[in-house]
Chains A and B, each alone.
Chain A
Amino acid sequence: DTGVSQDPRHKITKRGQNVTFRCDPISEHNRLYWYRQTLGQGPEFLTYFQNEAQLEKSRLLSDRFSAERPKGSFSTLEIQRTEQGDSAMYLCASSLAGLVETQYFGPGTRLLVL
C-alpha cells in the first residue's frame, strides 16, 4: 500500500511530556500538510511544507509545536510540554502541487493528554 501513513496511531501521555508524531507521505508528493481535528469538529490547518520548506504556519501552532520535513520526504510534528487541550486527532495529508490538488490523508494519530 502506498498511501499516507502515520505513526503512532494512538498516543496517551501525561501533561507536561513531549510527544513526536511521524508522517510518511505518498512518495512522489512534494506537499505535506498537518491538520488537527477535535471531537465534533472538522480538521483545522496547522502547517504545510513544499519539499523541505515550511511555507505556512497557522496561529494555532503555538511555540510548543514544531514541525520538520528535513529531506522533503517524511515529516515529524513535535509537541513540547503537552497540555490537556492538545488532545485531538492529528492528521497528515500529502499532495502533488498543481492547479487543483487532491490531498490524501493518513489515518491520523489520536493523542490523549491526561
Chain B
Amino acid sequence: TQLLEQSPQFLSIQEGENLTVYCNSSSVFSSLQWYRQEPGEGPVLLVTVVTGGEVKKLKRLTFQFGDARKDSSLHITAAQPGDTGLYLCAGVQGAQKLVFGQGTRLTINP
C-alpha cells in the first residue's frame, strides 16, 4: 500500500511547456524528497524539503512542501527533452526510512 499518491502517473508534453507533478498523503512526514530515476538505474536525489511551506528552486525546477507537511509539488518551467524520466517523491518516516510514491513518468517531446 502506497502512502504517497503521485499524479499524474504519466505525462507527455511538448518541449517548452510547463508542468506540475503532485505528491499527496494523509500522513505527516518529517521531510520529503524528490528523486529522478533513469531506466536501469537507481533513483538520484533532486531535493529535500523539511519545513512546511518551504519552496526550493533547482534551475527550472521548483519544489514546494505543503504547510501541513503532507503534500508536495514539483513544477518544471519550459520543459526540455533532457527532463524526460521517472520522478519519484518520497516521505521520510522514522529512522530515515523512505516511503515512495508510485512515480510520474514524464516524456518531453522535441
- Cβ contact within 8 Å between A107 and B31: no
- Cβ contact within 8 Å between B31 and A100: yes
Which residue of B has the minimal Cβ distance to A98? Answer: B96
Within 8 A of B (CB), among A42-96: 42-45, 48, 50, 55-56, 91, 93, 95
Contacts of A42 in B (CB 8 A): 2, 4, 6, 88, 90, 100-103
B45's partner among A91, A103, A106 (CB-CB below 8 A) is: A103
Question: Is A2's beta carbon under 8 Å from chain B?
Answer: no
B102's partner among A41, A91, A97 (CB-CB below 8 A) is: A41
A94 smallest CB distance to B (angstroms): 11
Which residue of B has the minimal Cβ distance to A92? Answer: B42
- Cβ contact within 8 Å between A102 and B45: yes
What is the total number of residues of chain A having a CB less than 8 Å from a CB of chain B? 28
Contacts of B88 in A (CB 8 A): 42-43
Question: Is B108's beta carbon under 8 Å from chain A?
Answer: no
A52 smallest CB distance to B (angstroms): 16
- Cβ contact within 8 Å between B97 and A56: yes
- Cβ contact within 8 Å between B40 and A95: no
A95 to B48, CA, bound (A): 14
- Cβ contact within 8 Å between A40 and B102: yes
- Cβ contact within 8 Å between A56 and B95: yes
Most buried by A among B40, B96, B100, B103: B96
Question: Is A111's beta carbon under 8 Å from chain B?
Answer: no
- Cβ contact within 8 Å between A105 and B97: no
Contacts of A31 in B (CB 8 A): 96
- Cβ contact within 8 Å between A41 and B40: no
Contacts of A4 in B (CB 8 A): 42
Residues in A lying within 8 Å of B, measured CB to CB: 4, 31, 33, 35, 40-45, 48, 50, 55-56, 91, 93, 95, 97, 100-108, 110
- Can you give 20 contacting A-B residue pairs, CB < 8 Å? A35-B100, A41-B2, A41-B102, A42-B100, A44-B100, A45-B97, A50-B95, A56-B95, A91-B42, A100-B31, A101-B92, A101-B96, A102-B48, A104-B45, A105-B43, A105-B44, A106-B42, A107-B42, A108-B41, A110-B40
